[in-house]
Amino acid sequence: MFPKKNSNQRPVGRAPASQQKKVEQLLRSWLTPDDGKPVLICLAGCNGVGKTSLFNSVAAAMKSPPIFLNADLLALVLKDIPAADVAAQKIAATLQDHMIGQRKTFVMETVFSDPNGAKIALLKRAKATGFHVVFVYVTLADLMLAKARIGHRVKTGGHSVDPNKLPRRWEKSHENAHATFAFVEDGILFDNSSYSDPMRLIAITHNGATVATFGPVPPHFANSLPPVAAST
């Protein structure tokens, strides 16, 4: 799908606007594979990185958007019950298991910071069950920007996040992402730090190898991408 690269050097360049469009087309095409297998797209990243906005931009161009399991949206529905966020997480996990058991295509959103690797295990189980597993990770330049984005979200009516939890979530989410890019069939890494250049495409991976990178990789992610695909 992408040009082969020299195995000794990671391909680097600026993704043009046409490439950004290509990524959106890829996301949509992954949802309707030719082989008829179910697809699980895991949209991951720490709080405040813009995951839901990315899904909305892709889904808006689709006639029949996929089922989207988002615990934050569930929490809004459950807002009048005690510990709505905890209940929403449990319901989302149950629905994820249900969709895998039914072998139905869906998109799940997650901060991806669970300390015991439960989400990684879920993706591996889906893959073993016969799903195409696509991992889309969104990062920012640093934790301070994530805090600022969350603060802006709260001021505009969005949900808050306990600031004391953010440092651990930031570290663990990136750690889990590193482990996941190593085994998923397809992966995309975005940097959503810039308002003028949102959702900058950083890298594309396939079957545990990096097939292309575009522009600089954020320092905190420099060692988290898998090795470059060997040239044959």
The predicted-structure confidence for 140-183, as pLDDT tens digits, reads as follows: 988 888 888 877 676 666 666 777 888 899 899 999 999 999 99
Q: Which residues are bridge partners to 21 per DSSP?
A: none
226 three-class SS: coil
Confidence of residue 13 (pLDDT cuts 50, 70, 90): very low
Which residue type does 226 have? P
CATH class for the region spanning 20-221: alpha beta
Q: Are 57 and 31 in contact (CB under 8 A)?
A: no
Confidence of residue 210 (pLDDT cuts 50, 70, 90): very high
pLDDT at 8 (0 to 100): 37
> According to the per-residue pLDDT averaged within each range, which of 53-67, 116-130, 144-158 is highest?
116-130
Confidence of residue 58 (pLDDT cuts 50, 70, 90): confident
Q: What is the DSSP string of 56-95?
A: HHHHTT-SSPPEEE-HHHHHHHTTTSTTHHHHHHHHHHHH
pTM for this predicted structure: 0.84
